[in-house]
Amino acid sequence: MEIVIVSEYNPEWAEDFKREEAKISKALNGLILGIEHIGSTSIPGLGAKPTIDIMVGVADLKQIADEQIYKLGLIDYEYVEKSYFPDRRFFRRGEWKAGTHHLHIYEYMSNHWINNILFREYLKNYPDVRTQYINLKKKLENQFKNDRSAYTQGKSEFIKGIIMRARENNELMRLFEGDNHN
C-alpha cells in the first residue's frame, strides 16, 4: 500500500518533466500533438505527492498500440490497462503503488485534455485557491495516510469545482482558441 506523503514544492519537478518529455517525444515519434506537465507537481508553490504527471495528446487513442506500448516500455513506462477509463491510456514509471511518473495519453483537445490544463492554470492564477487546495491535501494526507484511493477521492469534489469555475472563466478558455495553450 502506497503511503500518502505531500511534499513541499520542488522546482526540480519541472526539470524532471523536461527530461521525460524528450524521452517520450522520441518514443512516440510523430504521434504527439501536445505534451504537458499536469497535476500538482506542475504548479509552482504547490505541495504534492512527488509523482510527475505527464499528459500526451494524440489524434486517436487507437494510435497507442503494441508498438508504442513496447517503445514506452523501453524507457521504463509500463502500460497499465484501465478498462473503466476508456478515454485514456495510462503508463506508470516506477514500482507498483509507488510510481515516480504517470503518463496519461488522451485525444488532443478532448474534454480530459482541456480539464487538466484548466485545473493547472486556475491554480497558477489564483493563489488563494491554491492555498485552499494544499490545505485540503494536507488534511487528507493526515486522514488517509495509508489509503491513497481515499485520499484521491477526498480531492475529487474540490477538483471538479475548480474545473467548473475555470470553464466559466473566459480568460482561461481563451487558452484553447486556435489550439494555443502554452
Nearest to 50 by CA among 95, 107, 81, 12: 12
- Boundaries of every domain in the chain: 12-179
Does residue 1 register a pLDDT over 60? no
pLDDT in tens, 48-89: 999 999 999 999 999 999 999 999 999 999 999 988 889 999
pTM value?
Answer: 0.93
DSSP output for 41-93:
GGSTT--B-S-EEEEEEES-GGGS-HHHHHHHHHTT-EEE--TT-TT-EEEEE
pLDDT in tens, 4-35: 899 999 999 999 999 999 999 999 999 999 99
Beta-ladder partners of 93 = 101
Sheet containing 52-58, strands listed edge to edge, beginning at the edge strand earlier in sequence: 34-38, 52-58, 98-107, 89-95, 78-80
CATH placement of domain 12-179: 3.30.460.10
